[in-house]
Structure 1
């Protein structure tokens, strides 16, 4: 049975703990966090040794799989160290906070016998899976284009409570790296790799609090020939449902939690999302546990995990190209 450990016992770690608690083929053996309060709470809740330094944890607890749920700027270095030691990695998005760190992690993953999976869990959502199957079947004809929106709300306290979120050095960006990257990933996964992009990003509501963006938009061309348009903001008054609308020659597919397929002949089908069964936040979706269980099952199979470093790098490159156009020099900034 694989021995598992979690580095980073903050907000999103709850869904990783839940996933491991629900699995019969994984054994949590250690937790790690630099914050004494979070570290003590995780140790008390899960009854396993707790470490301040992740390298000490790797050496002492000797886990087979490490879940990295830390701030973005720590992702690459921690994942690289695990892979160097032959330890498998489940990594929260994004792949890294800079392109350079992302490339270093890509190289480490290619050189390691261990594997890495990146948490773009929304690909496991039942309506998203159904959308991919329909598009792949060819029954709907050629994909013409798509639009997507992320209309959410974050206030100053959200950033003041975790200052890394609002900085280039800590988060590698704002809205696009921390919230909207999931929807960017879905667009490129469903329509194909982005080969052209033009857009902008700026702070519309939180300019006095953060140095990164809270609003962004772009238009993209995919290698399939389809076009997509994208708009996201944290200046909305509430967290509205994420939308992805895809037009094809024979139907329109609308993702708003559930999937509604409206055919040109007037028929329509609906694919419902599973009910959330997690203590995590609703906007994280319902599929972390599915991705994590799939990753563990893949350890007995040949080849990389299907959402690996190379796959996760696609959305990172899209976001960083948007930043290159909007914030020249942002990659060189540090906190």
Structure 2
């Protein structure tokens, strides 16, 4: 029996969702939705399915089993909650929501258990991320002493001008940390443990004439197990450099630079290569959307919530909003 699917929001990142659905046995795309008439018409023509200007009309007319939400950030939580309340399963792009209040709303909607939901932190499915998590969880490396991560990327004024919501608090909920570096923030807390305290700052160093949100940020986080991590990110780099993530333990140093290098104190060195993707999506989206989507569909009949749930995705949102609170103490728009 085929599982029917619809894509809500036919902008840039939707391309990897369409690709994954085309490769997924037993899944059939039955509808698309976008508020922009040109994008909607293009998607209808490309995929040969009906199109709708709003998600509720789509659900009422088609009743899909799963929806993929690829809208601007400020629509994630409201659209996802509407779908869950109607018993429709959801895959929603990151971030969970553009505000803490909307994030909490979606966590509550998911807890009602009317349908299943996944949040797209696809980098957890990377071969390197999986290997790091397995090694750290096994205990064989001894105590975790600390970690560091960097995201040194580049975004132009045109990137924001083409999608104006990206550069605003109201539309994006933030800038660099919400739209680019959130994947690395998520990996840090997933690998190192829950963050119990964070001290950081966010600022606009490069794109001040274009955006109202941050393009540079840094923080130091204390984790529940006692370890500390340091994080730095900027969009002022000359190019999109590989994300770095280093974890230091008693018995080894784990160093992520595309591939993962594990250097043991006894001199051994192991390398875990990352998979290479043939996706038409942008390289900085990573290689694992397809794996996350396939895994979600395979678990639709499971009684338990999907493992990257709204409650799990809320952790990175809270960290980021805490940095905003410290950086913009007089602006409720950054954390509301």
For normalisation by structure 1, the TM-score amounts to: 0.98
User: Any conservation in 2 of the 1:258–1:270 contact (CA below 8 Å)?
Assistant: yes
Matches of 1:318 and 1:25, distance apart in 2: 38
User: Any conservation in 1 of the 2:86–2:114 contact (CA below 8 Å)?
Assistant: no
Aligned-partner SS, 1:10:
coil
Query: Which residues of 2 match residues 176-325 of structure 1 at below 5 A?
Result: 176-325=177-326
> Can you list the C-alpha shifts for 1:298-333, whole angstroms capped at 9, x where unaligned?
112111000010000000000000000001244436
Matches of 1:168 and 1:113, distance apart in 2: 31
User: Any conservation in 2 of the 1:65–1:89 contact (CA below 8 Å)?
Assistant: yes
Does residue 130 of the first structure (1) align with residue 144 of the second (2)?
no
Matches of 1:316 and 1:153, distance apart in 2: 22
User: Any conservation in 1 of the 2:119–2:308 contact (CA below 8 Å)?
Assistant: yes
Matches of 2:225 and 2:130, distance apart in 1: 19
Matches of 1:53 and 1:145, distance apart in 2: 46
Does residue 73 of the first structure (1) align with residue 74 of the second (2)?
yes
Say which is worse superposed, 11-20 or 33-42, in terms of deviation.
Answer: 33-42
> Can you list the C-alpha shifts for 1:87-128, whole angstroms capped at 9, x where unaligned?
010000000000000011111111132011000000000011
Distance apart, 1:156 and its partner CA? 0.7
User: Any conservation in 2 of the 1:198–1:220 contact (CA below 8 Å)?
Assistant: yes
Gaps of 5+ in 1: none
Distance apart, 1:134 and its partner CA? 0.6
Q: Could you say which residue in structure 2 is the equivalent of 1:83?
A: 84
Aligned-partner SS, 2:306:
coil
> Can you list the C-alpha shifts for 1:5-34, whole angstroms capped at 9, x where unaligned?
000000000000000000112111000001
Gaps of 5+ in 2: none
Q: Could you say which residue in structure 2 is the equivalent of 1:171?
A: 172
Q: Could you say which residue in structure 1 is the equivalent of 2:22?
A: 21
User: Any conservation in 2 of the 1:98–1:331 contact (CA below 8 Å)?
Assistant: no
User: Any conservation in 2 of the 1:15–1:278 contact (CA below 8 Å)?
Assistant: yes
**Cα RMSD (Å) of the superposition?**
1.0
> Can you list the C-alpha shifts for 1:156-213, whole angstroms capped at 9, x where unaligned?
1111111100000000000000000000000000000000100000000011111100
Matches of 2:26 and 2:241, distance apart in 1: 37
Does residue 108 of the first structure (1) align with residue 78 of the second (2)?
no
> Can you list the C-alpha shifts for 1:246-270, whole angstroms capped at 9, x where unaligned?
0000000001111000001111000
Query: Which residues of 2 match residues 6-85 of structure 1 at below 5 A?
Result: 6-85=7-86
Aligned-partner SS, 1:5:
strand
User: Any conservation in 1 of the 2:76–2:92 contact (CA below 8 Å)?
Assistant: yes
Q: Could you say which residue in structure 2 is the equivalent of 1:139?
A: 140
Aligned-partner SS, 1:24:
coil
Aligned-partner SS, 1:27:
strand
Matches of 2:322 and 2:161, distance apart in 1: 27
Matches of 2:240 and 2:20, distance apart in 1: 25
Aligned-partner SS, 1:301:
coil
Cα pair distance change 1:301/1:333, threshold 3 Å: closer
Distance apart, 1:276 and its partner CA? 1.2
The number of equivalent residue pairs is: 334
> Can you list the C-alpha shifts for 1:268-313, whole angstroms capped at 9, x where unaligned?
0000011111000000000000000000011121110000100000
Matches of 1:331 and 1:86, distance apart in 2: 33
